[in-house]
Structures are given as structure tokens and as C-alpha cells.
Amino acid sequence: MNRLAQRLDEAALSRTAIAKLTEETALDVPAAYQVQREVIARREARGEKLIGVKMGFTSRAKMIQMGVDDVIWGLLTDAMLIESHLDTGTLIHPRVEPEIAFLLERPVRSPADVGAAVGGVAVGYEVLDSRFADFSFTLEDVIADNASASGFGLGPWHPPRAVANVGLTLEIDGRTVASGSSAAILGDPMRSLHAAARLAHAAGIELEAGWIVLAGAATAAVPLPPGAHVRVSGQGLGHAEVTT
Ligand code: OOG
């Protein structure tokens, strides 16, 4: 597992796409999560801190785009948080997608904790950068690759509110390139938070107070070119912006 984690980590650091791990090594889902954990452990050893989780494959559009049918998660570190600029030259083939984000004000150890845990909601974006050539992977590969997580940014936090049907748009250089409703995220992004709590419980991980949960995309991901101005808006939630 350690050798596989090293390959993924080095692919990211050298921004060189690699072949699917499963072409050479049989992986099941638990083994894939073990590789993911080791990839993150390497980042922690370089001083990065865990600050949350991201959910993946929570929308039909994404499941169809990627040919999978299971919800997955990846881990977020502080180094992944993007302020206002992202140098795409540090990435392999970045894509961007609009997201709904939750801020936890209490720890979540199981789904029973979710109701009281949410301290804020925001619109945000996620930058995906699969370490695999052509974004081509099996479910196990993408889990090992931390669910293609690369970076993310957030709009302003708002007090908890219903986010079951928030209109989301993604603009690049003033042109709308993707739009949808948060209802595409498992019918309601809160369900994605419940799924995160279930995965946390199963993995024996606590979602800590102060952590961020990215509930997943409501649209397909769009290639993120250099020299772009990206703006993601969520009805009633304001927007998040980044230049590349
Ligand atoms: C995997 C990550 C999927 C989402 O929002 O569904 C994901 C990928 O598409 O590369 O983050």
C-alpha cells in the first residue's frame, strides 16, 4: 500500500499523470481507502493539517460522467484551501465544479450527531486533479487518489439553513459554463453530510468541530484553464471567486 501511496504522492508533486493502480495491483475498496490514508499521511508528514472531507459521486451527472455508482470521500488539508489565486501550472489537468459546503461546529462521530453539528453553510468550488492519465480510473483507483481532490475555495459562511434546492452557477470569464441545483446532490446536500457521517463512523474517524464538509458537485466538472477568472454563485449564498 505504501508503494502505491508513494506513486500517487509523487505524481502530484511532479505533476505527472500515472497509469491506473489497478492495472497492476488488485485493490478492493478498504485497501483503496488505506492507500488514500497513506497519501494523506505523507502530506501530514510535510506539515499539512486535516481540515475536513469532500464527498464525491453524489450527483447523477458525476456518476454518469465517471461511470461509477457509489458515494466516496476524500480528505482535505489546509494546504488545499485556495484563497484568491491558483497557479494551474502546479497541476496536471485541473477541473472545477460548484459545491455546497458545511462548517461543523460540533464533532460528528455517527449520523446521529449531524443534526446539531452544522454551524454554517456556504457555496464553494472544488478543483479536481486526478493523478491518473485522462481522468480515467476505477472506483478503487479514485478512492486511493483521495477522490481526485486538489483544492477548494469557499464563499462567505451563512448561518445554517435549508440548502436542498439552491441554484448554483459556474462562470468562467463571465460565461456560464455549468449550472444546476443543489438538489442534484443526493436530493439534498444534507444527505451527503449524513453519508460523510456514515463513512466516518465506518472508518473510525471523527469529523472534528471546525472541519469543512464539501457535499459534492451538482454539475459535471469543467476543465480549468490558466489565465481564467472563475466565479461560483449559490442562490442566496453569494459567491466564491478565483483567478488562475
Ligand atoms: C472524482 C471526484 C468526484 C464529485 O463531486 O463527484 C467528485 C472525479 O470526478 O475525478 O468530487
Query: What average pLDDT is seen over the chain?
Result: 95
Residue 192's pLDDT band (cuts 50, 70, 90)? very high
Is the confidence at residue 68, as pLDDT, over 80?
no
Q: What is the pLDDT of residues 125-166, one digit of tens each?
A: 999 999 999 999 999 999 999 999 999 999 999 999 999 999
Nearest one of 160, 165, 168, 182 to 55, comparing CA atoms: 182
Does residue 126 contact residue 99 with C-beta atoms inside 8 Å? yes
Q: Ligand 1: distance of its center to the CA of 168 in Å?
A: 17
Which of 54, 97, 148, 193 maximizes ligand 1 atoms within 8 Å of its Cβ, making it the mutation to test the pocket?
148
Region of 170 (left: φ > 0; alpha: ψ -120 to 50; beta: rest) is beta
| pLDDT recorded at residue 62 | 72
Range of the domain at 131: 2-243
**Which pLDDT does position 174 carry in this prediction?**
97
Number of domains in the chain: 1
For residue 121, give the C-alpha cell.
Answer: 453553510
Asked whether residue 98 carries a pLDDT value surpassing 80, the answer given is yes
Consecutive H or E run containing 37? helix 29-45
What pLDDT, on the 0 to 100 scale, is given for residue 69? 73
Output the ligand 1 site: residues, CB below 6 A.
54, 56-58, 62, 66, 97, 126, 128, 130, 135, 142, 147-148, 216-217, 221
State how far the Cα of 177 lies from the Cα of 100, in Å rounded to an integer. 17
Query: Ligand 1 centre and the CA of 74: distance in Å?
Result: 9
- Cite the beta strand spans of 105-206 per DSSP E: 118-128, 149-154, 167-172, 175-181
What pLDDT, on a 0 to 100 scale, did the predictor assign at position 208?
Answer: 97
Instruction: For residue 131, give the CATH number of its domain.
Output: 3.90.850.10
